[in-house]
């Protein structure tokens, strides 16, 4: 480096140099020509070292960071590289910080403890400390008189006449007339007088830690930029940090938006050990059962063993997917800090919300209106939300009700956002018994709430008037306001209809704020087309939304499931928009919670065991299954694309062995690897020719050379149209991975295109319902759709916020509940008999084997109804015939039976513990498993076999018989249906068996009571499990509890038989006959 006769001062380790110009007017400047790269943190150029190379902070990835930012990050930041997250190592010249490794080969004692000496002060404080230490030591450069003897720096020679304690670091400008006044960085404690060191020619000036005003200004500018760019968040929930620790968001990627919370080892480890122990007990149990047949009741014994083996297999399918249960926690504050910066537009991703309804007379419009209002008032940027309502019945009642809902939303939405109302469905907000003044401080809240309640009551009256009007349809059909006939007068033959109520026509709320988009959609229906029920309606909404808004994420809710937590979308975005793990998530499933269910939940409508135990277990594998509502999807996953695959790092090889050592063992591995690679390549080529799974494959196929570019582009377009349909607008939107709309597209053109994509013939010869969207072939399209996405390598997430995200209504009377279970079981049977059955479909994809077990269990469980109904009949048969399925029980057998029943009970207790489920919910679930198994599952099995194999579609009618008024009146509503026959029969024969068994024991004496206890135990097991069903049959008993009625009948029957047996009016030796002396002839 050409110094031009000027003095060089600076630090080799800090890459800082200062030239003191001896010729020009005194000035100190940094060497601009030595700077090269730009620091990624402060945007200043990175200075060079004395070797002429740029300063490198991280030896792993060489992420460009300047020396000051490196020092600041080690002292006050995360002490790690922002890019590769590798901990910074101490470089020579840098002070040591906590957790630095010992470096025996580095001799840098002068700088090793620099931070410790200045007490951990900032750089500005250090500069101030220098002045203080100078004054304390009598070495104040600012106030030094011109005549005082101050040592000068030379060009490398030391003035021997100056003592070692008089050496200085920088030439005072007032004495030399060259250079500028500069405060050097102190190397000692400010409270102690500075002790200058002797300077010898062999020492590098870098060890003295030179500073300058330019450095101080640079640090102040850098801090100012960091305060604008970075924000500090309060860390919550991480045990590695103490309360009160503030973590600077130096690297946003290091602050995840969510985290997994594994179940405590004290709860999960005993649970896993008990599962293994239960397997051992089951093995010993079946060993005993098979080797000890009952010869005098061989048929009963064989039947019971077959049923028990099936129950064991069913238990394995249900149990092992719960091996890795987890919980999750989200950080909404981090989501806002990252994507909603003050003064800038929100960067949260748009979301399209789908609401589906069919018959407004069965699904009340007021319920649908509340769901829509809760969506429009959600806590999310209004320009990022679009609500699409699918009316698959083309009912004018739904259309008019939605129009009234859009008008009322202009008042309701600003009221909710102004006062942070929860929940934001007005029906449930006004009817819930709660302290609505809690946390409300605005003086006008009470007045505006009363006005809003009055407005909502008027809104309800309008909706009720529409419902009353719709009860009687005119012969000529309904007409619109302009006199034209309503297009949906024929529900099976009508054109497609789309109406945008809010969001694009300038309609704003009462406070002149923008409202989310609200769109009414009714797809075209024509005779002779298979419309695929709900799955077809949802696919129509996907295409319409892809044309009109094309948000990258979709939320699917039923019309009776309103948003109970206004931050539900943000909860989902904490997973979907996480830069580290969000790209592989296909959907976020929320649990279903319900209103209007009685406290005892007689028929297990809440389904707590499934949502709080089974789903948490699946979340630890590849994710929960899709349950049909309350789910946020990634649009690209619904389009059938494969999940992004993580590139594997190259294997580390050892160079310590000679190459000839690997010739023998390595050749076999290489051949195997080449074979697998060739097989994978053939498979990928075969799949690529069959369907297009990834956008990258599509785009790569279009890249050709020369004159073939145009032909390749046309071929790619044909492939896309064959997959997605004949709509260029929709095909273009499907290729946008992050969503968005095409530029310069007029609303009229988009609306015309949207009408086209909901036409009847649009899906013909495409992959809709096969590989794209909601999958056809089952009434439970939710299981099939989630299974297809998991087979493509995606994973799902189960989100359980403290405040339930969604709430809905459930059928609480017995008949409606059984028909709901019948529909679910029928869909599982259809999947089992289809090509998409998880037993044989989806191998070679990304589906994990424990996740596959859960899907197999979800389609196999209806078949359990056959062994279950047989097993529930065995106790009655044994009591009536005097036989039993188990031979005379030995001590070993008694221990096995006790161990088996104990393991079942303890397993349930441990599941309740880590799943946070109450014993009442667990027991109701066990009871309804039996009730549904012997009724709805059995009918679903036969109905599914007839539908799939014979093409016969059967339906079961429900007849309402009686009803009561009052709260939970539907609970006591009795509706006769054929589903009630099997459990009623089982209940009657088991009660008769108990009566006959007890009577027989009374007749045969004391010795017959021992064998009777085993038979009575199984019979009572059946009766106790069917007890809620019996309560449903008897209905509401105002005067006498049901249990008293049941046991009264049972005891009366026993006492009657006992009376007949004892007969106190008849002598034990028989009747005494005497001649009365009367002639009766």
Residues designated as active site: 392, 782
Q: How many CB atoms lie within 10 A of CB 179?
A: 24
Q: Per DSSP, which regions of 575-680 are E strands? A: 585-589, 593-595, 631-634
Angle at 525 between CA 539 and CA 632, to 5 degrees: 20
Paired residues of 974 in beta bridges = 962
Compute the distance between CA of residue 603 and CA of residue 970 in angstroms, rounded to an integer.
13
Residues 785 and 773: their CA atoms lie apart, in Å, by 7
Cα 212 → chain centroid = 54
DSSP state of 783: H
Q: Round to whole Å and give the CA distance between 58 and 930.
A: 63
DSSP at 147? T
Report CA-CA distances (Å) from 775 to 458, 725, 778. 42, 16, 8
Return the bridge partners of 556, or none. Answer: 354, 631
Interatomic CA distance for residues 707 and 831, integer angstroms: 48
Given its phi and psi angles, is residue 641 left (phi above 0), alpha (psi -120 to 50 degrees) or beta?
Answer: beta
Q: Strand 553-558 and strand 351-357: pairing?
A: parallel
Contacts of residue 1054, defined as CB under 8 A and 6 or more positions apart, other chains included, come to 995, 998, 999
Residues 496, 762: Cα–Cα separation, whole Å = 12
Report strand pairing: 795-798 vs 585-589.
parallel
Work out the number of other CB atoms within 10 angstroms of the CB of residue 211.
Answer: 25
Question: d(Cα 388, Cα 542) in Å, to the nearest integer?
Answer: 10
Residues 6+ apart with CB under 8 A from 179: 20, 21, 26, 27, 28, 170, 171, 173
| DSSP structural state of residue 39 | P
Max distance between CA atoms of the chain, in angstroms, equals 167
Give a three-class secondary structure readout of 420-473. CCCCCCHHHHHHCCCCCCCCCCCCCHHHHHHHHHHHHHHHHHHHHHHHHHHCCC
Provide the β-strand partners of residue 19. Answer: 8, 29
CA–CA gap between residue 75 and residue 88 (Å, rounded)? 11
Does an H or E element contain 500, and which?
Answer: strand 497-502
Q: Are 126 and 189 in contact (CB under 8 A)?
A: no
Measuring CA to CA, how many Å separate 1029 from each of 140, 958, 965, 1022, 1039? 95, 17, 21, 11, 20
Torsion angles phi and psi, residue 470, rounded to 5 = -75, -10
Contact 430, 456 (CB under 8 A): yes
Q: What angle do CA 798, 799, 804 make, to 5 degrees?
A: 130
Distance CA 854, CA 504 (A): 44
Nearest partner of 556 among 465, 650, 484, 638, judged by Cα: 638
Three-class SS of residue 768? Answer: strand
Residue (of 747, 741, 353) closest to 518 by Cα position? 353
CB-CB contact of 256 with 578 (8 Å): yes
């Amino acid at each position: 480096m050409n110094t031009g006769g000027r003095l060089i001062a600076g630090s080799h380790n800090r890459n800082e140099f200062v030239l003191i110009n001896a010729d020009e007017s005194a000035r100190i400047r940094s060497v601009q020509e030595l700077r090269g790269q730009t620091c990624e943190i402060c945007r200043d150029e990175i200075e060079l070292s004395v070797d002429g190379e740029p300063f490198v902070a991280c030896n792993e990835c060489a992420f460009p960071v300047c020396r000051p930012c490196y020092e600041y990050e080690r002292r006050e930041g995360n002490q790690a590289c922002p890019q590769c997250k590798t901990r910074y190592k101490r470089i020579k010249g840098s002070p040591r910080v906590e957790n630095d490794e010992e470096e025996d080969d580095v001799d840098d004692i002068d700088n090793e403890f620099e931070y410790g000496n200045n007490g951990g002060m900032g750089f500005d404080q250090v500069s101030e400390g220098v002045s203080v230490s100078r004054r304390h030591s009598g070495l104040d450069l600012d106030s030094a008189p011109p005549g005082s003897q101050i040592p000068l720096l030379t060009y490398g020679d030391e003035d021997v006449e100056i003592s070692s304690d008089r050496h200085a670091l920088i030439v005072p400008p007032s004495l030399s007339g060259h250079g500028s006044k500069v405060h050097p960085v102190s190397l000692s404690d400010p409270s102690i007088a500075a002790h200058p060191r002797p300077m010898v020619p062999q020492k590098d000036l870098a060890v003295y830690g030179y500073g300058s005003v330019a450095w101080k200004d640079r640090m102040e500018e850098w801090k100012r930029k960091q305060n604008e760019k970075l924000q500090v968040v309060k860390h919550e929930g991480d045990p590695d940090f103490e309360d009160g620790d503030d973590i600077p968001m130096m690297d946003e990627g290091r602050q995840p938006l969510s985290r997994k919370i594994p179940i405590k080892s004290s709860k999960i480890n005993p649970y896993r050990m008990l599962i293994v122990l239960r397997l051992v007990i089951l093995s010993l149990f079946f060993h005993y059962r098979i080797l000890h047949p009952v010869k005098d009741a061989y048929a009963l014994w064989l039947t019971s063993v077959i049923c028990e083996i099936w129950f064991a297999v069913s238990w394995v399918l249900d149990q092992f997917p719960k091996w890795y249960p987890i919980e999750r926690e989200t950080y909404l504050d981090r989501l806002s800090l990252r994507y909603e910066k003050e003064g800038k537009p929100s960067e949260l991703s748009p979301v399209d919300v789908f609401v589906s309804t069919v018959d407004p007379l069965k699904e009340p419009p007021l319920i649908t209106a509340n769901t829509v209002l809760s969506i429009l008032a959600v806590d999310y940027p209004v320009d990022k939300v679009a609500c699409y309502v699918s009316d698959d019945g083309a009912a004018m009642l739904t259309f008019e009700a939605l129009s009234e809902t859009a008008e009322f939303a202009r008042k309701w939405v600003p009221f909710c956002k102004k006062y942070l109302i929860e929940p934001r469905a007005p029906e449930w907000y006004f009817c819930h018994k709660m302290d609505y003044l809690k946390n409300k401080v605005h003086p006008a809240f009470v007045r505006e709430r009363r006005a809003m309640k009055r407005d909502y009551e008027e809104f309800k009256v309008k909706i009720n008037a529409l419902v009353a009007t719709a009860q009687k349809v005119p012969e000529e059909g309904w007409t619109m306001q302009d006199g034209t006939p309503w297009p949906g007068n024929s529900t099976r033959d009508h054109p497609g209809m789309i109406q945008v109520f809010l969001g694009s026509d300038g309609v704003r709320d009462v406070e002149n704020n923008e409202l989310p988009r609200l769109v009414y959609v009714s797809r075209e229906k024509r005779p002779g087309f298979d419309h695929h029920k709900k799955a077809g309606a949802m696919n129509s909404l996907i295409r319409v939304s892809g044309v009109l808004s094309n948000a990258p994420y979709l939320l699917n809710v039923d019309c009776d499931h309103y948003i109970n937590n206004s931050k539900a979308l943000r909860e989902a975005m904490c997973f979907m928009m996480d830069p580290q793990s969000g790209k592989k998530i296909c959907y976020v499933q929320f649990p279903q919670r319900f209103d209007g269910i009685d406290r005892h939940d007689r028929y297990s409508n809440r389904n707590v065991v499934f949502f709080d135990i089974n789903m948490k277990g699946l979340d630890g594998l590849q994710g929960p299954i899709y349950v049909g509502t309350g789910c946020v999807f990634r649009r690209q996953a619904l389009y059938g694309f494969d999940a992004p695959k993580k590139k594997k790092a190259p294997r580390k090889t050892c160079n310590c062995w000679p190459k000839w050592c690997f010739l023998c063992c390595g050749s076999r591995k290489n051949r195997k690897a080449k074979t697998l690679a060739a097989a994978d390549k053939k498979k990928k080529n075969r799949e690529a020719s069959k369907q297009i799974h990834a956008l990258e494959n599509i785009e790569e196929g279009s890249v050709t050379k020369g004159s073939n570019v145009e032909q390749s582009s046309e071929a790619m377009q044909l492939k896309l149209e064959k997959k997605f349909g004949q709509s260029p607008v929709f095909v273009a939107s499907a290729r946008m991975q992050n969503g968005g709309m095409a530029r310069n597209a007029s609303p009229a053109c988009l609306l015309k295109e949207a009408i086209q994509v909901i036409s009847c013939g649009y899906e013909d010869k495409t992959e809709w319902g096969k590989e794209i969207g909601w999958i056809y072939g089952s009434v439970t399209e939710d299981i099939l759709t989630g299974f297809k996405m998991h087979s493509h390598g995606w994973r799902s997430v189960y989100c359980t916020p403290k405040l339930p995200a969604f709430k809905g209504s459930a059928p609480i009377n017995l008949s409606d509940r059984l028909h709901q279970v019948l529909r679910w079981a029928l869909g599982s049977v259809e999947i089992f008999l289809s090509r998409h059955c998880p037993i044989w479909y989806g191998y070679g994809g990304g589906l994990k084997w424990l996740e596959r077990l859960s899907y197999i269990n979800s389609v196999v469980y209806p078949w359990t109804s056959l062994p279950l109904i047989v097993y529930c009949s065995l106790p009655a048969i044994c009591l009536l015939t005097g036989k039993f399925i188990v031979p005379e029980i030995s001590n070993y057998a008694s221990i096995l039976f006790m161990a088996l029943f104990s393991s079942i009970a303890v397993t349930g207790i441990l599941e309740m513990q880590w799943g946070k489920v109450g014993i009442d919910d667990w027991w109701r679930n066990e009871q309804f498993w039996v009730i549904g198994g012997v009724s709805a599952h059995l009918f679903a099995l036969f109905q599914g076999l007839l539908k799939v194999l014979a093409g016969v579609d059967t339906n079961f009618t429900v007849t309402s018989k009686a009803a009561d008024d009052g709260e939970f009146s539907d609970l006591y509503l009795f509706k006769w249906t054929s589903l009630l026959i099997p459990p009623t029969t089982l209940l009657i024969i088991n009660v008769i068996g108990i009566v006959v068994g007890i009577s027989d024991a009374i007749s045969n004496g004391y010795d017959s009571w021992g064998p009777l206890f085993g038979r009575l135990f199984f019979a009572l097991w059946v009766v106790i499990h069917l007890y809620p069903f019996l309560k449903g049959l008897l209905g509401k008993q105002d005067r006498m509890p049901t249990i008293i009625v049941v046991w009264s009948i049972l005891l009366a029957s026993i006492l009657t038989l006992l009376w007949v047996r004892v007969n106190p009016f008849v002598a034990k030796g028989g009747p005494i006959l005497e001649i009365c002396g009367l002639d009766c002839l």
